[in-house]
Copies of this chain bind each other. A is one copy, B any other.
Amino acid sequence: MTITITAFERSPDGGKGLARDTRVRWALEEVGQPYQVRLVSFAAMKAPAHLALHPFGQIPTYEEGDLALFETGAIVLHIGERHAGLLPTDANARARAITWMFAAVNTVEPPILELVTARILEADKPWSNERMPLVEERVRGRLAQLSARLGDADWLDGAFSAGDLMMVSVLLRLRPSGILDAFPNLAAYVARGEARPAYQRAFAAQLAVNVGHRREPT
């Protein structure tokens, strides 16, 4: 069955790979599944046809036969459950990999999203400069804990898994802030993720859309 995902017609980041379709593309590349992409404009994302697929009017979505999913974490988990390459076969190791997926989106990402909001949506507010150190400190606190756990390992729990895919993707959002550089083992961890051929293919595919080198099926 054909897999179809949605992505921004024009990503707000101009193709830096931070839009969440990159996470799904990366997962599909890791397991070697071909996919089609339907590009959606900002207006179309808030229209009934897209809201029927994604109640929060975002990308990506995932369609495969009569299955329609939204939420990047759920899509990556679904891909990992259906195809080898993202989740360990040992039951306990698999449960731990899924734990890192949830840790990425529910423990590490929230303070990072708050930082992104503070830098973008609240940059012009009168409190912006005074509040920023507080927001950055919350991010650093989380990173210190993550850095302590990772130590000098390559990945969070044994071999690369969907947990690492999600965590690297979440940490990538921090690059513009420079905060990641204060944690050399996390910076190296992110670089290891980016160096994976599957990530490279995913990144190139989303970049091609945004620089207009290639038109994906619509």
A contact residues vs B (CB 8 Å cutoff): 51, 55-58, 66-67, 69-75, 77-78, 92, 95-96, 98-99, 101-103, 105-107, 109-110, 113-114, 117, 122, 125-127, 130-131, 134, 142, 145-146, 148-149
Contacts and interface: CB of A to CB of B under 8 A. Distances in A.
Contacts of A69: 95-96, 99
A55 B148 contact: yes
Given A66-B92, A99-B70, A146 B78 contact: no
A45 B74 CA distance: 29
A55 B146 contact: yes
Given A92-B67, A127-B131, A74 B101 contact: yes
16 contacts: A55-B103, A55-B146, A55-B148, A56-B107, A67-B95, A70-B99, A71-B106, A71-B107, A73-B106, A75-B99, A78-B95, A106-B106, A106-B109, A110-B110, A114-B114, A122-B131
Given A71-B102, A122-B134, 14 more contacts: A56-B145, A58-B107, A69-B99, A71-B99, A74-B99, A74-B103, A105-B106, A106-B106, A106-B109, A110-B113, A114-B117, A122-B131, A127-B127, A127-B131
Contacts of A149: 55
Contacts of A109: 106, 110
A67 B91 CA distance: 9
Nearest to A141: B56
A127 to B, nearest CB: 3
Contact of A103 (B71, B95, B131): B71
A115 to B, nearest CB: 11
Nearest to A99: B74
Given A66-B92, A105-B102, A145 B77 contact: no
A57, A107, A117, A148: most-surrounded residue (chain B CB, <10 A): A107
Contacts of A99: 69-71, 74-75
Contacts of A106: 71-73, 105-106, 109
